[in-house]
Structures are given as structure tokens and as C-alpha cells.
Amino acid sequence: MRVLLLNPPGERTYIRDYFCSKTTKSNYLFHPIDLVVLSGTLAEHHDALVLDCMAERLAPGPAHDRIAALAPDVIVSLVGSVSWNEDRVFLAAEAHRGRRVLALGDILHERSEARLAEEPWLEAALHVFANADVVHYLAGRRERIEDMTVRDATGAPERLQRVERAHRKGSYRVPRPRHELFPQRGYRFSFARSRRFATVLTDYGCPYPCTFCVIGTLGFQTRPIEDVLEEIDALRAGGTREIFFMDQTFGVVRARGRELCAALEQRGDLSWTAFTRPDTATDEMLAAMARAGCHTVIMGVESADDAILATYKKGYRASAVSGAFLRAKRHGLRTVGTFIVGLPEETEDSLAATLDLAMELDMDFMSLNVAVPRFGTPFRERALALGLADPDDLVMDQGGAEAFLPTKTLDKEAMLALKRRMVRRFYLRPRYLWKRLRSVGSLHELRAQVTEGFALLKRNA
């Protein structure tokens, strides 16, 4: 079959991946990891095609024309809660033109039977992208599907779940993702040291239980290192040396992390960015990462408020964070701190303390995510129980263009204004701007950082 992996068009730049959709916070756009992983799985059995309307900045009309020219038998599309109203119109039109449409994304992560019942254009929903479910489904082998919502012989939605998400563990194998099918231009990431970069996943899910995060609900599985190296060597052979590892905590299984770093170090020509956690960023791991070509680490700080960290099961106290940032600096790594703002317990004081902490940590970049009650998370249940969220409100964005939830003490407008002020106060410090300028190593970096910086400040004006 001709199977098209589709990232649909939209009015804004949407990032719909890993069951978390959002608008881009500055101007970045990396490869949609779900489709990257599925490209290998599908290419083994079908004629796999890719159309990323976000990277190609395609409007709906030209996107429909491109799909018509590609003439797929089946479309496997990303969908997102952030863009749901647009996605459903676009994909319904494709179904109307006779295409079979399967989809995956956060909006289908919870109550998927209800979504299928409401959306007749949607043939089935995938709930895992790092397995062979799509291939089994297209071959009619329903008995081998691990986790999908499909339709029975009468067209009624039917949930097939043989492996509970939270219980996924051990290792998984997927055929080499076909990066070469994705556009060569259109992806942008200011932490990357060169324009050309690839997005790679070496594990799936996350072993931690932070209750606001959907990835912690997916279980945790790792790929064999030789499979990861096969993928990376294919990228190197094609001229790509810059990698963004999408693993949520790089090297969380220490021995495996060290082994992977040693293999990357041996190659000697890679340069990369990865996520880690302050409590796993040991000297040993950071040193191994730096030797292997890592130049930037993104660490979840979340909040300066220990009560908030404890309520949402972050697993460390704010005081544990500073050591990790110091260690990263000692190993010559650039640091990005990510935060979640606007949880129900957030106050003006806790936001002020969080900003102070971000400045004290002397991080290179601060990334603020606005709390949203993501489908399938314990936080969603809590926000609904507190009456802060409406269960029928399906469209949400953690990118920070809008505030989605009030807190117990701040309404949405106040929350958004405080968040915007935090961004301006962090980035518009003369000392910070001077440091940024001095640290730029190439024309590409200068261009990317200026573009993303302006986009971020415009959004938080």
C-alpha cells in the first residue's frame, strides 16, 4: 500500500508529537518523532511517504493538492488537541475524497472510543508509535494489535488494549527510522549547531511519575544500542552530524547511557542536545555526554516551590537543582531549564521565586510551559475535580500563547501576564544578552537565536 505519514497544516506552527501538542514557543520546529519512528516500521512493509505541512508551511488547499498527487491508499496523521478544530476539518475532507485515515495524538489518548464515535472520518486511532500496531492493523491481524482503537464489523468503535500503557517495560525494537523521507528544510532548532539536524529517540516513555506529564503514563522501554547506532550511522552516512535526542531523560538507565555515550564518542563527529533531570545528571554521566559530543542539556526544574514539586511527584526538591546546573557548566555544557507554570497551587510569590531561581542558576535559556490538563494524566483528574477545567474543552495549548487554567488564586489573565513578565525579565537583562552574544559560535547559531529570541519576545510582549 502507499501509506502517507502526515503532519497536517494549521493556522499556527503546531508541534504535535509524543502525545503532547502545543504551539511553538519561539519559532522552533523539530521533526515529529512519532512519524519519524513510524517511517521505519511502515517502510519495511509498504511504500511509505511523508508530508509535513508544518515544515513545508503548506496551507490546507495546497496540502490537499499535494496529497492528491501522492495518491496514498492510507493516511496516518498526527492530530493534536491544540489544533483539533482544524485537524478534524482537514482530515474529514481527505476521508471524503476516499482516503482511509488513521490518526494518533494527545486528543485520542483518552476516551478514544467517544472520539471515534463523534468523528466518522476517523477509521482507527494508534496509541503507541514505537511498535508494529499499524502494520498489523493494515494486514488485518487484529489479534496482534497491542493498543489501538478500531472499528468493529458494524463500524462501532472498539478498544483493543493488550498491554496497559503504564506497564510497557523492557526493550522494544523498531526498524531504522527513514529520516531521508522527511523534508531537508523547514525544521529549526536554535540549540542545534548546524542547520541540518535529526531528531532521534533511543527510548520510549519515562520511568518517572510526574503527575502533570503524559509521558510518565506511557511506561518505559529502551531500544537496543545497536539499533540506535544503525540509525545514527545511517544519518552520518547521509551527512547529518547534529542530533536532538528526544529521550525524556537521556541515560536514565546509567549503564546503557554510558555505553551509548562511549559509542558516540568513538564516532567522534557528532554534536547533540539532550534532555536530562537534575537528579540523574551526575558528574560521571555529564562527563560522558560531553565527551560524546553533547553541547546542550535541557533539564526540568519546574518550580522553585517544594510543595508544588512534591504535590506533582517530581521526585526532587528545588535545592537539588543548583548542583546539577553547576555540574553541567563544569563540563562545558550549555543549559536550558524547563518550568511548568500555572499549576493550581501557583501564586504570584511562587512565580517570583521561580524566576529568581532561574536567574540564580545562570541557565543559558529558560523555557516556560503553561500547565494544561493533558489527556490521560493524574493532573487532568485533579484539575477537573477542582473545577478548574471543563471536561468538554478539548482544545488546549501549553505553548504559552494563552493561559488555559486559572490557579486557585490567579485568574487566567493574571497568570498569563505574570508569565509574560517572567520571560521578559529573564531574557532582557543586559548581562544575559551580552553573555548570549559572546557564546554564539557560528553564523547559523546567531541567525537561529536571533530569530527565536524575537519570536519569543513578541509572544511575551
Q: Which is nearer to ligand SF4, 42 or 210 (CB)?
A: 210
Amino acid, res. 218:
L
DSSP state of 171: B
Does 165 bind ligand SF4 (CB under 6 A)? Our answer is no
Q: Which is nearer to ligand SF4, 40 or 278 (CB)?
A: 278
Binding characters for ligand SF4, 259-298, by CB under 6 A (x = yes): ------------------x---------------------
Interface stretch with ligand SF4, choices 73-81, 203-211, 365-373, 429-437 (CB under 6 A): 203-211
Interface stretch with ligand SF4, choices 182-190, 210-218, 228-236, 354-362 (CB under 6 A): 210-218
Q: Which is nearer to ligand SF4, 39 or 398 (CB)?
A: 398
CA distance 297 to 299: 6
CA distance 227 to 174: 8
Strand, helix or coil for residue 196: coil
Residue 235, C-alpha cell as written in the block: 544519518
Number of residues forming the site for ligand SF4 (CB under 6 A): 10
Does 245 bind ligand SF4 (CB under 6 A)? Our answer is no
Taking the CB of residue 96, how many other CB atoms lie within 10 A of it? Answer: 9
Interface stretch with ligand SF4, choices 1-9, 11-19, 86-94, 212-220 (CB under 6 A): 212-220
Does 206 bind ligand SF4 (CB under 6 A)? Our answer is yes
Q: Which is nearer to ligand SF4, 204 or 432 (CB)?
A: 204
CA distances, 374 to each of 88, 107, 165, 297, 389 (Å): 19, 9, 15, 25, 11
Residue 372, C-alpha cell as written in the block: 494544561
Q: Which is nearer to ligand SF4, 13 or 249 (CB)?
A: 249
Q: Least separation, in Å, of the C-beta of 215 and ligand SF4? A: 4
Exposed / middle / buried, residue 440 (Cβ in 10 Å: 0-12, 13-18, 19+) = middle
Q: Which residue has the cell 483493543?
A: 160
Does 134 bind ligand SF4 (CB under 6 A)? Our answer is no
Does 300 bind ligand SF4 (CB under 6 A)? Our answer is yes
Residue 385, C-alpha cell as written in the block: 475535580
Asked if residue 382 lies in contact with residue 211, where contact means CB atoms within 8 angstroms, the answer is yes
Amino acid, res. 30:
F
Q: Least separation, in Å, of the C-beta of 216 and ligand SF4? A: 3
Single residue of 41, 199, 248, 273 touching ligand SF4 by CB under 6 A: 248
Single residue of 58, 78, 215, 343 touching ligand SF4 by CB under 6 A: 215
Taking the CB of residue 114, how many other CB atoms lie within 10 A of it? Answer: 11
Does 210 bind ligand SF4 (CB under 6 A)? Our answer is yes
Q: Which is nearer to ligand SF4, 182 or 312 (CB)?
A: 312
Does 88 bind ligand SF4 (CB under 6 A)? Our answer is no
Q: Which is nearer to ligand SF4, 2 or 317 (CB)?
A: 317
Does 208 bind ligand SF4 (CB under 6 A)? Our answer is yes
Residues linked to residue 5 through DSSP beta bridges, in sequence order:
50, 76
Q: Which residue has the cell 517530581?
A: 314
Dihedral, CA atoms, 259, 272, 426, 15, nearest 10 degrees? Answer: -100
Asked if residue 94 lies in contact with residue 60, where contact means CB atoms within 8 angstroms, the answer is no
Q: Least separation, in Å, of the C-beta of 301 and ligand SF4? A: 11
Q: Which is nearer to ligand SF4, 198 or 213 (CB)?
A: 213
CA distance 21 to 84: 10
Does 216 bind ligand SF4 (CB under 6 A)? Our answer is yes
Does 251 bind ligand SF4 (CB under 6 A)? Our answer is no
Strands 271-276 and 242-245: parallel
Does 213 bind ligand SF4 (CB under 6 A)? Our answer is yes
CA distance 364 to 329: 10
Interface stretch with ligand SF4, choices 14-22, 109-117, 151-159, 202-210 (CB under 6 A): 202-210
List contacts with ligand SF4 (CB under 6 A): 206, 208, 210, 213, 215-216, 248-249, 277, 300
